């Protein structure tokens, strides 16, 4: 028998189920359009990139095919050789059809994903303005990704268009579209999306704005942050000054190995700025009598692994380049090492690269020693001094890893003639620049640029006290 006031049988179960039902999702009846959340400057930039890519693909459609010519060697004088022949290419409309299909798929997919982002449900944990900002962030990331892909399609088409006819006996050529793609890649890398306002949940569950801690407002922290901007400006200034030095960016009949010296000059300048920053910290904020606090983890495992791999790459490429140049000299083909010089005077490029890298490694040790041995900063903020030391060491390791990667790429590009004999390729292919080495060198140089802009995402902790993280990203 059921007690009074309680329903019987199935009615009782339905009543209990109704009391445990989850709350219903609130529907939003507002009309949401793509243009309401689209980041306009980025959208117009991406549209221009898509149009440029389409024009490049359309231009390729009208280009003719080239017949391949067997490789050969032409001896201009007793110590100089020139390669003849080369690879052919297909009809332009065949490649344009493939690239056009990829371009069309990318454009339609981008439009569909943008529509999906604008029409998705509201997140109940966020208010309406935050939901809108979250859609803008998603669109930003999507547009940056598809812009890079569209630029890559244009680069493929540009490489096809720039390839010379083998009958013209052109030994070197440049793909201007590839340089544009690099600019687009760097621009999309730096076009950061907006950020949601940082919030934290208090004890009673209310959301409060995250206030800036005293660590970020400390003068020593502001000095370290400003040094990051100075370190970023230093290689740009060195590159601009290099425009006034003949044969600095491209090897020629001038000083051999000058490009590798230029890379070392940029890295050394950046490392000297880091060392000068540590000297300023000690002079302005260092205090006698305070024990030094060392960070528990100076460099993240990912960055340390990157640095080790970069050094291994550079050493391996240097050794293999030396072996290839030695085989050329043993075969009496010294004229292949540097066109127009018989025999090439001066030291080989790999020797100059090795000496320059050793000099940069010696310079890199200076800011590291200065960071670990300078006087401590007098502050009541636990772990701030150790965090600032870790930032400097992180920057030094990052710079050296980027330098070794870029230096390996430059060495590959400037000494590409040493690789065909080392790989056992036919002798007729030894007489000119080896394109695969150029491509691999360019990729390594681009990877070095990417490594150079890895931000400081975390701070080390001292053994004696817990370290409060400093908000924001330090460049």
Are the C-beta atoms of 374 and 346 separated by less than 8 Å? no
**With 50 as the cut, is the pLDDT of residue 342 above it?**
no
CA terminus-to-terminus distance, the chain: 75
The average pLDDT across 279-305 equals 78
**Rounded-to-integer distance, Cα 225 and Cα 343, Å:** 51
- CA of 320: how far to CAs of 243, 293, 408, 433, in Å? 31, 43, 11, 16
Per-residue HEC secondary structure of the chain comes to: CCCCCCCCHHHHHHHHHHHCCCCCCCCCCCCCCHHHCCCHHHHHHHHHHHHHHHHHHHHHCCCCCECCEEEEEEEEECCEEEEEEECCECCHHHHHHHHHHHHHHHHHHHHHHHHHHHHCCCCCCCCHHHHHHHHHHHHHHHHHHHHHHHHHHHHHHHHHHHCCCHHHCCCCCCCHHHHHHHHHHHHHHHCCCCCCCCEEECCCCCEEECCCCHHHHCHHHHHHHHHHHHHHHHHHHHHHHHCCCCCCCCCCCCCCCHHHHHHHHHHHHHHHHHHHHHHHHHHHHECCCCCCCCCCCCCCHHHHHHHHHHHHHHHHHHHHHHHHHHHHHHCCCHHHCCCCCCCCCCCCHHHHHHHHHHHHHHHHHHHHHHHHHCCCECCCCCCHHHHHHHHHHHHHHHHHHHHHHHHHHHHHHHCHHHHHHHCCCCHHHHHCCCHHHHHHHHHHHHHHHHHHCCCECCCCCCCCCCCCCCCCCEC
Residue-wise pLDDT tens digits, 190-203: 888 887 764 444 44
What mean pLDDT comes out for the span 74-101? 77
Q: How many residues does the chain have?
A: 475
pLDDT value of position 247: 52
Cα 171 to chain center, whole Å? 30
Tens of pLDDT along 411-462?
A: 888 887 777 777 776 655 555 567 778 888 888 998 998 898 877 653 333 3
Q: Of 416 and 213, which is predicted with more confidence? A: 416
* Torsion sign, CA atoms 329, 331, 336, 342: positive
Give the residue among 12, 1, 162, 172 at the shortest CA–CA distance from 92: 162
Cα separation, 106 vs 102, in Å, equals 6
Single pTM value for the model: 0.57
Provide the 10 A C-beta neighbour count for residue 265. Answer: 19
Say how far apart CA 393 and CA 398 lie, in whole Å: 8
The pLDDT, as a whole number, for residue 242 is: 64
Mean local confidence (pLDDT), 324-339: 62
35-68 tens-digit pLDDT:
788 888 999 999 999 999 999 999 999 899 888 7
Tokens matching residue 295: 């960070």
Q: 149 and 106 in contact (C-beta within 8 Å)? A: yes
**Distance separating alpha carbons of residues 417 and 308, to the nearest angstrom:** 27
- For residue range 92-134, what is the model confidence (pLDDT) as tens digits? 999 999 999 999 999 999 999 998 888 877 776 767 777 788 8
CA dist 49 → 55, 104, 117, 320, 366 (Å): 10, 14, 22, 40, 44
């Amino acid at each position: 028998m059921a007690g009074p006031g309680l329903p019987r049988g199935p009615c009782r179960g339905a009543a209990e189920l109704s009391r445990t039902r989850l709350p219903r999702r609130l529907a939003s009846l507002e009309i949401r359009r793509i243009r309401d959340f689209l980041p306009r400057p980025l959208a117009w930039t991406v549209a221009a990139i898509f149009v440029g890519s389409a024009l490049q693909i359309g231009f390729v459609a009208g280009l003719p095919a080239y017949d391949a010519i067997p490789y050969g060697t032409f001896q201009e004088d007793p110590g100089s050789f020139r390669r003849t022949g080369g690879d052919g290419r297909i009809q332009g409309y065949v490649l344009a059809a493939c690239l056009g299909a990829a371009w069309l798929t990318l454009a339609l997919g981008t439009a569909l994903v943008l529509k999906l982002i604008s029409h998705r449900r509201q997140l109940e944990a966020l208010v309406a303005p935050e939901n809108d900002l979250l859609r803008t962030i998603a669109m930003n990331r999507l547009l940056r990704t598809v812009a890079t892909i569209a630029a890559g399609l244009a680069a493929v088409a540009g490489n096809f268009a720039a390839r010379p006819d083998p009958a013209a006996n052109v030994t070197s050529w440049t793909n201007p579209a590839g340089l544009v793609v690099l600019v687009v890649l760097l621009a999309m890398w730096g076009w950061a999306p907006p950020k949601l306002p940082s919030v934290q949940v208090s004890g009673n569950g209310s959301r409060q704005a995250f206030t800036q801690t005293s660590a970020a407002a400390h003068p020593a922290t502001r000095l370290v942050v400003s040094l990051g901007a100075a370190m970023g400006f230093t290689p740009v200034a060195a590159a601009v000054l290099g425009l006034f030095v003949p044969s600095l960016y491209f090897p020629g009949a001038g000083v051999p190995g000058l490009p590798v010296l230029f890379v070392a000059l940029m890295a050394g300048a950046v490392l000297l700025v880091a060392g000068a920053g540590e000297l300023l910290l000690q002079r302005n904020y260092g205090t006698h009598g305070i024990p030094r606090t060392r960070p528990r983890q100076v460099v993240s495992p990912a960055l340390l692994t990157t640095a080790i791999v970069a050094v291994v790459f550079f050493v391996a490429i240097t050794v293999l380049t030396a072996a290839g140049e030695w085989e050329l000299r043993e075969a009496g083909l010294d004229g292949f090492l540097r066109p127009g010089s018989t025999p090439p005077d001066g030291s080989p490029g790999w020797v100059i690269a090795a000496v320059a890298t050793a000099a940069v490694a010696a310079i890199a040790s200076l800011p590291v020693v200065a960071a670990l041995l300078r006087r401590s900063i007098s502050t009541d903020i636990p772990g701030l001094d150790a965090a600032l030391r870790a930032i400097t060491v992180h920057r030094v390791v990052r710079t050296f890893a980027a330098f070794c990667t870029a230096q390996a790429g430059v060495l590959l590009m400037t000494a590409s003639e040493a690789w065909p004999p080392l790989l056992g390729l036919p002798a007729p292919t030894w007489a000119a620049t080896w394109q695969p080495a150029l491509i691999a060198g360019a990729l390594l140089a681009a990877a070095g640029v990417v490594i150079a802009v890895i931000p400081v995402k975390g701070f080390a902790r001292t053994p004696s006290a817990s370290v409060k993280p400093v908000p924001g990203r330090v460049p």
